[in-house]
Amino acid sequence: MSAVLALDIGGTKLAAALVSADGVVQRSARAPTPADPWPVCHHLLEQVRDGAEIAGVGVGSGGPMEWPAGLISPLNIPGWRDFPLRDRLVESYPGVPVRVHNDAACVAAGEHWRGAGQGVDNVLGMVVSTGVGGGLVLGGRLIDGATGNAGHIGHVVVQPDGPDCVCGGQGCLEAIARGPAVVAWARERGSSAADGRELAALARDGDQVALAALERAGAAVGVGVASAAALLDVRLAVIGGGLASSGEPFWRPLQTSFARHARLGFLTGVTVVPAALGGEAGLVGAAALVLAGDRYWSVG
């Protein structure tokens, strides 16, 4: 099979890649997300394609979206509301499959196909970054849910009387553990950290507020993963995204909290590990929608 084009659409960044049939990124390109992203998407795709024959196009995008129709309305791209991304791509790349899914589902697929979840049939994939998202691989297949939205672990409630969430709910994991919320919590307590990267650096230097902020976030993620593991009977949770790169100050409380709450016998041996593919997981997973469609694409 030929290589495929992969596209990863985020609120701040667009990325495209040519991914070989065995799941290796051959060429990639990135650009900030402009107000009207379509011309840039198309340009990036053509740039990485560089005239190559392709077997299809896979896309991971921030939601919400109409799935599998591929009408996308990414929360952080106000200019796109019910934008017919799939139709546009079909026009540009006729005759090959074009498949659009949620970005976090693509991360889960990518980590399962070529990352930390290889060979494990039941995996929770997560991203802890500007938002907290996830995707589910159960019985070796990507789970879509009724509307393509399965895996929204960011909106598992970890503290029912906790902070309000952007979704309108209360105490969601995302409301506590998303990068901007963690930084805001630290700044309210006097921290100078401007973003998650600075917060992690401060924590590594022993700053107490930064450590407490990352501990609070890690513990909340541990609760959410424990809940998901009980509900899904997965063997592995794989966590990527910026905040998950914060090292021990984030991971130690996460593991402690997970161990405290995941106590059922069948959860013995479940592991929670960092993502292996880093920033490429979403692109590799988007490619997998086409290249390993038997496992990651359930619809026609």
Residues near its own copies, by CB under 8 A: 64, 121-122, 134, 136, 138-139, 143-160, 165, 167-172, 219, 223, 226-228, 230-235, 257, 260-266, 298
Tokens 């070529």 appear where?
114
- 213 vs 219 by CB, closer to its own copies: 219
Give the β-pairing of 123-128 and 236-240.
parallel
Q: How far is CA 187 from CA 127, 150, 174, 199, 281, in A?
A: 23, 33, 18, 10, 31
Decide whether 23 or 131 has the Cβ nearer to its own copies.
131
Which CB, 1 or 264, lies closer to its own copies? 264
Our CB check for its own copies shows the closer of 209 and 223 to be: 223
Q: Shortest gap between Cβ of 175 and its own copies (angstroms)? A: 11
Decide whether 44 or 132 has the Cβ nearer to its own copies. Answer: 132
> How far apart are CB 228 and its own copies at their closest, in Å?
6
| Shortest Å distance, C-beta 25 to its own copies | 29
Alpha carbon 226 to chain centroid distance? 18
**Residue 182 CA: distances (Å) to CA of 98, 149, 173, 210, 223:** 37, 25, 11, 9, 16
Among the residues of the chain, which ranges form H helices?
38-49, 85-92, 103-114, 173-177, 179-188, 196-204, 208-232, 248-261, 281-291, 293-296
Q: How far apart are CA 161 and CA 172, in angstroms?
A: 10
Which of 36, 164 has the CB closer to its own copies?
164
Provide the 8-state DSSP code for 9. E
CB neighbour list of residue 93: distance below 8 Å, 6 or more residues apart? 5, 54, 56, 57
To the nearest whole angstrom, how small is the minimum distance from the Cβ of residue 197 to its own copies? 28
Q: Which two tokens stand for residue 265?
A: 């016998």
Residue 5 beta carbon to its own copies: minimum distance, rounded to whole angstroms: 27
- Amino acid identity, residue 236? L
- Min dist CB 256 to its own copies, Å, is 12
Ramachandran angles phi, psi of 100, nearest 5°: -120, 130
Task: Report, in Å, the least distance between residue 171 CB and its own copies.
Answer: 7
Indicate the residue among 165 and 213 with the shorter CB distance to its own copies.
165
Element (H, E) at 102: strand 98-102
